[in-house]
């Protein structure tokens, strides 16, 4: 194993560790940290022993990746975890025991009552309420809608959500992206496909991490099977929305669907509120909300699409309509980059909130 590089505190600024720096989310994280206002002292890159010694660039500097170990958290103030659930479950408490604040992107702690689930635009104060020294980052589907819904909730008070997702392949990590690209290559140029039941499936063969072909198709499934036919992804949307908004009784029905998009989740949301809504006021609330872009001019075919949103930071909202049958309900279409706000960006924002505590000392 390579020796740990020395940490040199810069101007008393906090030291950051990125665990999982070599992964899909970790790679976007390095890019985000290189472009946002730099609040960090030293940065330490951590991954599995397979990646130890590898060199990666962040903030214009080349840094060596070190293997995950207890010593790797020595001198670290804040540790981001962009690793599988089981790795976070084991190692985030180790980082916390070493005195670091762990900000975890996995699903390991999201529903733990002693771990806050934080979206800085919605519930920033919760970042300080961390008895285990761990803060969780919500799942990418919830994150792709919750900033906009939080703004509408502050105006009208949410009562119920009916959500359909149109989720990108990269939500299933790098293997998901690789599988979609391979499938697209297999079907490209064949002008007969998509006309007979099973013809796409026969050409594609192995469907990779998806339970059905994704190219030329949509697949009504993401995650694992839970009671009553619900998928784990659908339950995450329900449980995490309730926790972030502090609404344990919020009624939520979600149907999660995978679509042949590389990155950027889209959602339709039917949101029911305690008070009567107004289309123009709702549009104004969304236009003013930090982290939200309103793109809503259907007369000129202006609405968000994943192809236009990918690589950007905000939650994009369009098709804002008052329900024809319920004066208390709005219907919306939202898009958010699942690797940026849906994962790395929100984690970076949480870490920056915690970094302020170090700088305030």
Ligand X SMILES: NC(=O)c1ccc[n+]([C@@H]2O[C@H](COP(=O)([O-])OP(=O)(O)OC[C@H]3O[C@@H](n4cnc5c(N)ncnc54)[C@H](OP(=O)(O)O)[C@@H]3O)[C@@H](O)[C@H]2O)c1
Residue numbers annotated as active site? 140, 265
- Tokens representing 176 are 């998901």
Binds ligand X (CB under 6 A): choice among 165, 264, 338, 349 = 338
CA distance 210 to 40: 39
Name the residue nearer to ligand X (CB basis): 84 or 93. Answer: 84
Question: Largest Cα–Cα distance of the chain, in whole Å?
Answer: 67
- Which residues between 219 and 248 bind ligand X (CB under 6 A)? none
Binds ligand X (CB under 6 A): choice among 74, 93, 160, 173 = 173
Q: What is the CA radius of gyration of the chain?
A: 21
CA distance 313 to 181: 24
Binds ligand X (CB under 6 A): choice among 48, 69, 164, 268 = 48
CA distance 246 to 241: 8
Counts for the chain of helices (H) and strands (E), in that order: 9, 13
Name the residue nearer to ligand X (CB basis): 140 or 146. Answer: 140
The answer to whether residues 150 and 119 touch, using CB atoms and an 8 Å cutoff, is: yes
Give CA separation, 34 vs 67, 79, 309, in Å.
22, 17, 20
Mark residues 128-167: x for contact with ligand X by CB under 6 A, - for none.
Answer: -----------xx---------------------------
CB neighbours of residue 179 within 10 Å: 21
Name the residue nearer to ligand X (CB basis): 14 or 26. Answer: 26
The continuous run of DSSP H or E covering 187 comes out as: helix 173-187
Tell me the closest approach of the beta carbon of residue 137 to ligand X, in angstroms. Answer: 7
Binds ligand X (CB under 6 A): choice among 10, 50, 154, 226 = 50
Binds ligand X (CB under 6 A): choice among 14, 41, 223, 342 = 342
Cα 235 to chain center, whole Å? 15
- Tokens representing 237 are 């949307």
The answer to whether residues 318 and 331 touch, using CB atoms and an 8 Å cutoff, is: no
Name the residue nearer to ligand X (CB basis): 91 or 156. Answer: 91
- Tokens representing 245 are 């908004």
Under the criterion CB under 6 A, does residue 331 sit at the interface with ligand X? no
Under the criterion CB under 6 A, does residue 22 sit at the interface with ligand X? yes
Under the criterion CB under 6 A, does residue 217 sit at the interface with ligand X? no
Name the residue nearer to ligand X (CB basis): 77 or 82. Answer: 82
Kindly report the CA angle at 126 between 123 and 131, in degrees rounded to 5? 160
Under the criterion CB under 6 A, does residue 291 sit at the interface with ligand X? no
Binds ligand X (CB under 6 A): choice among 17, 43, 63, 68 = 68
Under the criterion CB under 6 A, does residue 63 sit at the interface with ligand X? no
The answer to whether residues 209 and 181 touch, using CB atoms and an 8 Å cutoff, is: no
Name the residue nearer to ligand X (CB basis): 134 or 277. Answer: 134
Binds ligand X (CB under 6 A): choice among 31, 64, 74, 85 = 85
Binds ligand X (CB under 6 A): choice among 14, 16, 17, 25 = 25
3-state class of 300 per DSSP?
A: helix
Under the criterion CB under 6 A, does residue 352 sit at the interface with ligand X? no
Using CB under 6 A, which of the segments 82-90, 92-100, 158-166, 209-217 binds ligand X?
82-90
CA distance 320 to 301: 13
Binding site for ligand X (CB under 6 A): 20-26, 47-48, 50-51, 68, 82-85, 87, 105-106, 139-140, 170-171, 173-174, 338-339, 342-343
């Amino acid at each position: 194993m390579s020796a740990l590089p020395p940490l040199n505190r810069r101007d008393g600024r906090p030291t950051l560790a990125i665990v999982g720096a070599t992964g899909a989310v970790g790679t976007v994280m390095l890019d985000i940290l290189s472009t946002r206002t730099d609040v960090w002292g030293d940065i330490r890159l951590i991954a599995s022993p397979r990646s130890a010694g590898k060199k990666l660039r962040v903030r214009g500097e080349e840094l060596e990746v070190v293997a995950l170990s207890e010593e790797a958290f020595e001198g670290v103030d804040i540790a981001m975890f962009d690793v599988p659930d089981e790795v976070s479950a084991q190692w985030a408490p180790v980082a916390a025991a070493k005195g670091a604040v762990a900000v975890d992107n996995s699903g390991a702690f999201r529903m733990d009552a002693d771990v806050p689930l934080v979206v800085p635009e919605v519930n920033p104060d919760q970042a300080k309420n961390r008895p285990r020294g761990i803060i969780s980052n919500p799942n990418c589907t919830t994150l792709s809608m919750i900033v906009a819904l939080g703004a509408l909730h502050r105006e009208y008070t949410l009562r119920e959500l009916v959500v359909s997702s149109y989720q990108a392949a990269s939500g299933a990590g790098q293997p998901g992206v690789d599988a979609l690209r391979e499938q697209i290559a297999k079907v490209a140029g064949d002008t007969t496909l998509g006309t007979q039941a099973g013809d796409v499936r026969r050409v594609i063969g192995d469907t990779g991490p998806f339970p059905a072909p994704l190219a030329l198709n949509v697949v009504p499934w993401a995650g694992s099977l839970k009671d009553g036919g619900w998928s784990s992804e659908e339950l995450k949307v329900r449980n995490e929305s309730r926790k972030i908004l502090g609404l344990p009784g919020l009624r939520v029905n979600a149907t999660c669907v995978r679509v042949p998009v590389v990155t950027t989740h889209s959602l339709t949301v039917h949101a029911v509120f305690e008070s009567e809504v107004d289309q123009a006021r709702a549009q104004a609330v969304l236009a003013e909300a930090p982290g939200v872009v309103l793109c809503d001019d259907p007369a000129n075919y202006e609405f968000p699409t994943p192809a236009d949103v990918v690589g950007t930071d905000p939650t994009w909202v369009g098709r804002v309509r008052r329900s024809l049958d319920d004066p208390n309900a709005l219907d919306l279409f939202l898009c958010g980059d699942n690797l940026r706000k849906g994962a790395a960006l929100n984690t970076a924002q949480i870490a920056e909130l915690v970094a302020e505590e170090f700088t305030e000392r």
